[in-house]
């Protein structure tokens, strides 16, 4: 990585504000610290009393449907919007919005939108060089070479964007966005417009790039597979309110409610004695000696298993059960479940 001394005169950093001892202690323990952050547009509350932490070098996924407030939260963290309440700190510095800061945003925090555009009439080399404007002239070529290596596209240096695949263009665009080495990368739905095979490739390449750069990353998505693939921690957001936070495995195995459970794949709501349980299809096992019974209403081939919709007294809705073989509609089956 090119050392910090290669930057040109891009202005100083304002001194950190003095914090009360109790807040300073809490803020110092985590690289990104949000406390009671809220944002409304008119009467609509978009972000509602959000508190969360991200440690240095971690990758956090904010997972939610469209309109859940996740993109607004990114803009608040980047300093592109004013909060209506609460405080945001990055590396012990309080983040201010446009009202308190003449030029919104921070050089060490980069908000990367989902549709990053390359100049179609510039070569890959020139696209990347244009992104290194904060470096002194004598160091810009070194930085371009570094970015080409990082994106694994050294052999495309003289190509134009239309000559690259969609995945290659995305890698170059994100590499350009990270050219000036921010400490924090905020990615707004970076994989949403990619088809499934390409999405897996870009996810892996992007997170490898961010890891090599040592960045702390927050990205938002509506796809739980993104969280499974790359996130250290996940926050599930609904109508501006955090529903649950934890590791992907913790949330998958122990969802706090049906909404969270459904975000991470099929789930059955079962009535067992006086309790209501959230049970994944893979937790249900078929057995001739099973305690519970049901009637197959549908059996569909899904590659590595059959997905069966089963009518049972255990649920008001059809239960989803996986099997290795296809069942005829109307077949009576027995099953048990595991915790």
Per-residue confidence band for 243, with pLDDT thresholds at 50, 70 and 90: very high
Share of the chain above pLDDT 90, in %: 63
- For residue 105, the tally of other CB atoms under 10 A from its CB is 16
| Tens-place pLDDT, residues 101-128 | 889 999 899 998 867 778 999 999 999 9
On the 0-12 / 13-18 / 19+ scale of CB atoms within 10 A, 158 is exposed
What pLDDT does 195 receive?
Answer: 67
What pLDDT does 5 receive?
Answer: 42
Q: Do domains 4-253 and 268-337 have the same CATH topology?
A: no
Q: How does the average pLDDT of the chain come out, rounded?
A: 88
Asked if 305 and 284 touch (Cβ cutoff 8 Å), the reply is no
| Tens-place pLDDT, residues 176-196 | 888 888 999 999 987 766 666
- For residue 272, the tally of other CB atoms under 10 A from its CB is 13
Cα Rg of the chain (Å, integer): 24
Which architecture does CATH list for 268-337? Beta Barrel (2.40)
The pairing of strands 319-323 and 109-112 is: unpaired
Q: Which of 10-14, 140-144, 201-205, 267-271 shows the lowest mean pLDDT across its residues?
A: 10-14
Q: Is the dihedral of CA 253, 230, 75, 85 positive or negative?
A: positive
pTM of the full predicted structure?
0.83
For 2, what's the count of Cα atoms within 13 Å in the CB-facing half-sphere? 23
Residues 31-39, mean pLDDT to the nearest whole number: 96
Per-residue confidence band for 8, with pLDDT thresholds at 50, 70 and 90: very low
The pairing of strands 292-301 and 332-337 is: antiparallel
Residues 147-173, mean pLDDT to the nearest whole number: 87
Asked if 53 and 33 touch (Cβ cutoff 8 Å), the reply is yes
The pairing of strands 85-90 and 32-41 is: antiparallel
Domain boundaries defined on the chain: 4-253, 268-337
Asked if 232 and 245 touch (Cβ cutoff 8 Å), the reply is no
Q: Enter the CATH code of domain 4-253.
A: 3.40.50.300
Q: How far lies 220's CA from each of 12, 46, 74, in Å?
A: 31, 15, 8
| Tens-place pLDDT, residues 295-306 | 999 999 999 999
* Separation between Cα atoms, residue 6 and residue 146, nearest integer Å: 14
């Amino acid at each position: 990585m090119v050392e910090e001394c290669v930057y040109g005169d891009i202005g100083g950093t304002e001194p950190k504000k003095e914090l009360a001892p109790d807040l300073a202690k809490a803020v110092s323990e985590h690289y990104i610290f949000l406390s009671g952050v809220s944002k409304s547009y008119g009467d609509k509350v978009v972000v509602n009393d959000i508190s969360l932490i991200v440690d240095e070098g971690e990758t956090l996924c904010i997972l939610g449907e469209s309109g859940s407030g996740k993109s607004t939260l990114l803009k608040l963290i980047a300093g592109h919007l004013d909060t209506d309440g609460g405080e945001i700190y990055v590396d012990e510095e309080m983040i201010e919005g446009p009202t308190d800061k003449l030029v919104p945003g921070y050089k060490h925090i980069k908000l990367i939108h989902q549709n990053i555009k390359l100049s179609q009439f510039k070569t890959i080399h020139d696209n990347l060089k244009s992104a290194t404007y904060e470096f002194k002239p004598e160091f810009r070529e070194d930085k371009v070479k570094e970015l080409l290596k990082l994106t694994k596209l050294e052999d495309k240096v003289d190509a134009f964007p239309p000559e690259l695949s969609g995945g290659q263009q995305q890698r170059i665009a994100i590499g350009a966005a990270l050219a000036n080495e921010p400490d924090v990368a905020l990615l707004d739905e970076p994989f949403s417009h990619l088809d499934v095979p390409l999405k897996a490739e870009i996810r892996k390449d992007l997170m490898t790039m961010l890891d090599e750069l040592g960045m702390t990353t927050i990205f938002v998505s509506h796809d739980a597979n993104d969280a499974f693939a790359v996130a250290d921690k996940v926050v599930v957001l609904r109508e501006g309110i955090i529903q649950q936070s934890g590791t992907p495995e913790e949330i998958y195995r122990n969802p706090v409610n049906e909404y969270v459970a459904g975000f991470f794949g099929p789930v059955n709501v079962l009535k067992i004695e006086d309790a209501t349980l959230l049970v994944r299809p893979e937790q249900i096992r078929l057995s001739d000696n099973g305690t519970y019974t049901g009637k197959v209403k549908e059996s569909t081939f899904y590659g590595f298993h059959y997905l069966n919709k089963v009518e049972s007294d255990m649920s008001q809705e059809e239960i989803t059960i996986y099997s290795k073989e296809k069942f005829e509609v109307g077949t009576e089956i027995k099953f048990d479940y595991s915790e």
